[in-house]
């Protein structure tokens, strides 16, 4: 059974999913995909065992058994009962059942767990004539059901109980860190690398010694699960005892009996130090650590080489004493500044006002959770006096981010994309195109390449899609750093030519306003002139949400140019009128471009001028497009406001204060199309486009007019990965 592939989920404290993914990949996990509080992965049973044995950060490891749809509690019961539980559970032994997630009819986790237990026991009684007893503490098998809406996943908990229970801590002292969170803090602080070079480690407020012991286990390459007596798979019928014993023996052989680092903890509380020493003995690291009784002010380095200070000071939330916590942080800050120059520090703090008492600036802050308490891990470079430099800290951050596995993976994807797309772009004679569009869901960016006509300089416009609330904020920031640190090297481009924007729904007039605080004169200097289809356009990569040129409409604009000769052309919601410039270059007899924004109309005028087009033939009209259409549609058919070619490209949603009411393209497109068709001259054509991701055309349109979906024909090569980028339709009289 061990050679078969399985699907797994490993859970982890929030803020540590990336570390867990790295650990899992190191033990053979495939297809690791981060979530806010866990990692999905695949592998053999050996992979699952190695995860339980070696992961320092995981909380649980779940092996998935079945998935099904269940719209009700009865369907959930039936889906569970359909599984052959006799292949997994000895009915003479014990089980425990857990239910998590959000289900439309199972509102309480206790009820879900009860229905899970009933279904399993009923099936086993039918198949074997007996049923297992329930044991909540250390059962033979712990079952887990998770609901995501009506989708249910059934799993066996290979850990059985939290993997933070290494087996060495029977007494914890006041407000302890869980062992896996302590290990995550050490991994974040890059202790494994420091231990490799023999750096000193110190926890000056060590309490029961968890950070010290975990630091010693990392330095000695001791598997955190090596001394655990209980795992959830030991009572599972699918368990492979020979495989497990082999893995344990290999792990025991890997343990180093000596380490180059001095690893120590100190505390003012002798009782806590006694507990710490006993914990270290149970963990098997007594020979590698030392504990001393000192107040923080008296702690000193033992070597001349810089080391790592890592500690979890009393930060008020756990002690109910904010005043004392601030005093402790102030004393700790003095000691760090005076005695530990050149060291690195990693400190946990719950409140910003408490952390400020350190009088030290952190170069990196990670958001974590210690149980139910949100805490921040402050990473501080205790450089020599006068060395505190923002640019040096920024460079250090970038270097660390660029060296991470995530950054390397992202850079590899970019290099593959540019190799493929550069050939297609050259063939299509295109110099501005999309390089990346959230190809890897964890790195949710759109990256566009722009080439300046005059200089040939390359620029990148990087749009970061706003992360949903379910994504950990620290993880989102880390991925941003990894992505940005990868771009210069992967694409051979100077950092100052990388322009970052955050893409989220704009409201009111925000969609028309500058997005930076730069004065107009400065913003003007940042515009670039680029080329597309033999025409020139101005783009601004810094000051607005969009650049001024929608790259996904490249083929749409070319299509309009092909149809424009001799035509009277109307461009509604014209933006910077790039479509009108195309139509004019294709020989349109006249163009009318309508938009509500003065900024965009000024931009449009500049585009016409840039291409030497006669402004007398090309009218720019500032107006609410809906109101303009309503007035124009009331003119006699075939009158002065008749057009042979109309381009209608409304925003998905707009509630600008300057506009009458709210525009919703899904709701309002039939009315907009109706009014455009009234302005269409005999034999004319309306081209309707929308970027609404879930757009559905009104079926009634096809009953009145000839409607042709040309979305596929207007999709450029660089947007083929996202076929929902826009929808496009040609509409003419039936």
Contact 582, 611 (CB under 8 A): no
Distances (CA, A) of 380 to 14, 124, 340: 22, 57, 11
Find out whether 45 and 28 touch, Cβ atoms under 8 Å. no
676 CB burial (10 A radius; 0-12, 13-18, 19+): buried
Backbone angles phi, psi at 323, to 5 degrees: -65, -45
Alpha-carbon distance of 300 to 54, in angstroms, equals 33
Task: HSE, CB side, 13 Å, CA atoms: give it for residue 305.
Answer: 11
- pLDDT band at residue 450 under the 50/70/90 scheme: very high
Please enumerate, as own/partner, the contacts of 103-106 that have beta carbons within 8 Å and a separation of 24 or more: 103/70, 103/76, 103/147, 103/149, 103/150, 103/152, 104/71, 104/149, 104/150, 105/71, 105/72, 105/73, 106/73, 106/76, 106/147
Most confident of 54-68, 345-359, 657-671: 54-68
Task: Give the pLDDT confidence score for residue 712 in this predicted structure.
Answer: 94
pLDDT of 580 > 80? The answer is: yes
Residue 644 banded pLDDT, cuts 50, 70, 90? very high
Superfamily of domain 527-733 in CATH is: Vaccinia Virus protein VP39 (3.40.50.150)
Q: Which residues of 412-439 are buried (b: 16+ CB within 10 A; e: fewer)?
A: ebbeebbeebeeebeeeebbbbbbbbbb
Confidence bin at 366 (pLDDT 50/70/90): confident
Mean pLDDT, the chain, rounded, equals 88
Q: Is the pLDDT of residue 521 over 50?
A: no
In this prediction, residue 386 carries a pLDDT of 41
Fold of the domain built from segment(s) 6-157: VC0802-like (3.30.2130)
Instruction: Find where tokens 């974040």 sit.
Output: 188
Instruction: Please give the pLDDT value at position 332.
Output: 94
Could you tell me the pLDDT band of residue 378, with boundaries at 50, 70 and 90?
Answer: very high
d(CA 144, CA 51): 18
At 478, is the pLDDT very low, low, confident or very high (cuts 50, 70, 90)?
A: confident
Angle at which helices 17-26 and 179-188 cross, to 10°:
90
Give domain limits for the chain: 6-157, 179-221+256-388, 407-504, 527-733
Region 175-183: mean pLDDT is: 87
Give 636's pLDDT tier (boundaries 50, 70, 90): low
Query: What pLDDT, in 10s, does the model give residues 299-332?
Result: 999 988 899 999 998 765 444 466 778 888 999 9
Q: Compute the C-alpha angle 91/97/98, nearest 5°.
A: 165
* DSSP for residue 222: -
The DSSP secondary structure of 294-336, one letter per residue, reads: --GGG---SSSS--EEEE----STTTT-HHHHHHHHHHHHHHH
In this structure, of 119-128, 312-321, 472-481, 598-607, the range with the lowest mean pLDDT score is 312-321
Q: What is the pLDDT of residues 13-37, one digit of tens each?
A: 988 988 999 999 999 999 998 887 8
Residue 389 has what pLDDT?
52
pLDDT category at 501 given cuts 50, 70, 90 is confident
SS3 label, residue 86:
helix
| pLDDT attached to residue 251 | 96
Hey, what are 487's tokens? 């771009």
Whether the predicted pLDDT of 615 surpasses 60 = yes
Mean pLDDT, to the nearest integer, of 653-659? 65
pLDDT for 227 equals: 93
Mean pLDDT of 519-548: 78
Scan for tokens 């009289």, then name that residue.
733
Q: Tell me: the pLDDT tens digits for 146-156? A: 999 999 999 99
C-alpha separations of 585 from 499, 533, 575, 642, 687 in Å = 30, 10, 18, 20, 18
d(CA 689, CA 674): 15
Cα–Cα distance between 552 and 432 in angstroms, integer?
11
Residue 452 has, within 13 A of its CA and on its CB side, a CA count of 13
Q: How far is CA 100 from CA 69, 149, 155, in A?
A: 15, 11, 12
Helices (H), 108-173: 109-128
- The confidence score (pLDDT) of residue 246 equals 97
Contacts of residue 694, Cβ cutoff 8 Å, sequence gap at least 6: 666
In whole angstroms, what is the distance from residue 254 CA to residue 680 CA? 79
The residue with tokens 């850990």 is 159
The pLDDT of residue 281 is: 96
Lowest mean pLDDT among 468-482, 526-540, 661-675: 468-482
User: How far is the C-alpha of 525 from the C-alpha of 533, rounded, in Å?
Assistant: 24
Task: Indicate the helix (H) or strand (E) that contains 367.
Answer: strand 364-370
pLDDT of residue 287: 95
Q: Are strands 653-654 and 643-648 parallel, antiparallel or unpaired?
A: unpaired
Q: What per-residue confidence (pLDDT) applies to 373?
A: 79
Residue 385 has pLDDT above 50, yes or no: no
In the predicted model, what is the mean pLDDT of residues 585-607? Answer: 95
Please compute the mean of the pLDDT values over residues 53-81 and round it to a whole number.
97
618-641 burial string, b = 16+ CB within 10 Å, else e?
A: bebeeebbbebbeebeeeeeeeeb
Confidence of residue 477 (pLDDT cuts 50, 70, 90): confident
Least-confidence region, from 267-271, 500-504, 582-586: 500-504
Residue 396's pLDDT band (boundaries 50, 70, 90)? low
Taking only the tens place, the pLDDT of each residue in 234-291 is 999 999 999 999 999 999 999 998 999 999 999 999 999 999 999 999 999 999 999 9
Judged against a pLDDT cut of 90, whether residue 165 lies above it is answered with: yes
Residue 523: pLDDT over 50:
no
Within 8 A by CB and 6+ apart from 369, the residues are: 13, 14, 15, 181, 375
Domain 179-221+256-388 has CATH 3.40.50.150: yes
More confident residue, 405 or 235: 235
Tokens for 196, please give them: 């490799």
83: nearest Cα among 72, 71, 70, 92: 70
CA atoms within 13 A on the CB side of 318: 19
Tokens of 135: 């044991």
Cα–Cα nearest to 460, from 418, 514, 423, 398: 418
- Pairing mode, strands 60-69 and 6-11: antiparallel
- Indicate if the pLDDT at residue 514 is higher than 50: no
> What is the structure's pLDDT at 508?
40
Cβ-proximal residues to 289 (8 Å cutoff; 6+ apart), any chain:
209, 212, 213, 216, 263, 264, 265, 280
Residue 51 pLDDT grade (very low, low, confident, very high; cuts 50, 70, 90)? very high
User: Does the structure show a pLDDT above 50 at 614?
Assistant: yes
pLDDT cut 70: percent of the chain above it: 89
What are 520's two structure tokens? 């107009």
4, pLDDT greater than 90: no
pLDDT band (50, 70, 90) for residue 402: low
Residue range 572-599: mean pLDDT, rounded: 96
- Same topology for domains 6-157 and 179-221+256-388, yes or no? no
Residue 178 burial (CB count, 10 A): 20
- Tell me: pLDDT of 657 over 90: no
Q: Give the pLDDT of residue 467.
A: 67
CATH class of 407-504: alpha beta
* Higher per-residue confidence, 525 vs 71: 71
């Amino acid at each position: 059974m061990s050679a078969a592939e399985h699907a797994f989920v490993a859970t982890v404290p929030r803020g540590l999913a990336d570390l867990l993914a790295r650990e899992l990949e190191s033990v053979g996990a495939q297809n690791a995909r981060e979530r806010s509080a866990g990692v999905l992965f695949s592998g053999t049973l050996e992979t699952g065992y190695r995860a339980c044995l070696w992961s320092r950060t995981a909380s649980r490891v779940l092996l998935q058994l079945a998935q099904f749809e269940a719209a009700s509690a009865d369907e959930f019961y039936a889906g569970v009962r359909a599984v052959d539980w006799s292949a997994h559970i000895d009915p003479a032994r014990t089980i425990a059942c857990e239910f998590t997630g959000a289900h439309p009819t199972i509102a309480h986790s206790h009820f879900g767990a009860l229905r899970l237990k009933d279904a399993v026991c009923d099936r086993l009684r039918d198949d074997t004539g007996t049923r297992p007893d329930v044991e909540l503490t250390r059962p033979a098998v712990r079952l887990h059901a998770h609901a995501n809406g009506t989708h249910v996943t059934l799993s066996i908990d290979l850990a059985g109980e939290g993997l933070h229970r290494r087996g060495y801590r029977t007494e914890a002292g006041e407000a302890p860190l869980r062992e896996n969170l302590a290990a995550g803090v050490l991994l974040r602080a890059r202790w494994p690398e420091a231990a490799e070079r023999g750096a000193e480690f110190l926890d000056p407020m060590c309490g029961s010694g968890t950070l010290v012991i975990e630091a010693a286990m990392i330095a000695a390459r001791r598997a955190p699960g090596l001394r655990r007596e209980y795992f959830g798979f030991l009572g599972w019928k699918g368990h492979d005892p020979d495989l497990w014993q082999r893995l344990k023996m290999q792990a025991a052989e890997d343990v180093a009996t000596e380490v180059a680092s001095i690893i120590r903890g100190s505390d003012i509380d002798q009782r806590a130090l006694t507990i710490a020493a006993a914990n270290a003995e149970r963990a098997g690291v007594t020979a590698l650590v030392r504990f001393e009784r000192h107040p923080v002010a008296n702690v000193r380095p033992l070597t001349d080489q810089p080391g790592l200070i890592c500690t979890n000071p009393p930060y008020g939330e756990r002690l109910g004493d904010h005043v004392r916590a601030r005093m402790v942080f102030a004393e700790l800050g003095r000691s760090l500044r005076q005695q530990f120059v050149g060291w690195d520090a990693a400190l946990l703090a719950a409140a910003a006002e408490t952390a400020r008492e350190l009088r030290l600036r952190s170069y990196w802050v990670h958001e974590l959770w210690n149980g139910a308490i949100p805490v921040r891990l402050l990473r501080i470079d205790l450089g020599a006096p006068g060395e505190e430099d923002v640019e040096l800290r920024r460079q250090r951050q970038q270097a660390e981010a660029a060296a991470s596995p995530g950054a390397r993976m992202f850079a590899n994807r970019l290099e593959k994309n540019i190799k493929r797309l550069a050939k297609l772009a050259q063939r299509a004679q295109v110099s501005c195109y999309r390089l990346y569009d959230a190809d890897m869901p964890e790195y949710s960016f759109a990256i566009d390449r722009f080439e300046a006509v005059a200089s040939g300089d390359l620029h990148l416009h990087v749009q970061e899609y706003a992360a949903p609330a379910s994504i950990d904020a620290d993880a989102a920031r880390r991925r941003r750093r990894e992505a940005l640190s990868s771009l210069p090297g992967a694409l051979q481009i100077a950092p100052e030519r990388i322009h970052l924007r955050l893409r989220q729904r704009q409201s009111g007039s925000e969609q028309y306003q500058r997005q930076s605080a730069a004065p107009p004169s400065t913003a003007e200097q940042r515009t670039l002139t680029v080329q597309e289809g033999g025409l020139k356009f101005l783009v601004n990569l810094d000051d607005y949400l969009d650049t001024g040129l929608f790259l996904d409409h490249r083929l749409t604009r070319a299509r309009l140019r092909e149809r424009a000769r001799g035509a009277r052309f109307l461009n509604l919601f014209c933006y910077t009128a790039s479509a009108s410039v195309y139509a004019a270059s294709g020989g349109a007899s006249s163009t009318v471009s309508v938009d509500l924004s003065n900024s965009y109309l000024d931009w449009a005028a500049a585009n016409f001028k840039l291409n030497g087009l006669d402004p007398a033939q090309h009218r720019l009209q500032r107006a609410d497009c809906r109101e303009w259409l309503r007035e124009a549609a009331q003119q006699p058919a075939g009158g002065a406001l008749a057009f042979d070619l109309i381009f209608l490209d409304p925003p998905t949603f707009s509630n600008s204060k300057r506009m009458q009411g709210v525009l919703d393209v899904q709701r309002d497109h039939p009315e907009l199309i109706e009014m455009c068709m009234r302005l269409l001259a005999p034999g004319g054509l309306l081209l309707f486009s929308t970027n609404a991701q879930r757009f559905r055309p009104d079926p009634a349109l096809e009953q009145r007019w000839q409607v042709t979906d040309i979305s596929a024909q207007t999709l450029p090569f660089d947007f083929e990965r996202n076929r929902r980028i826009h929808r496009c339709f040609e509409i003419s009289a039936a």
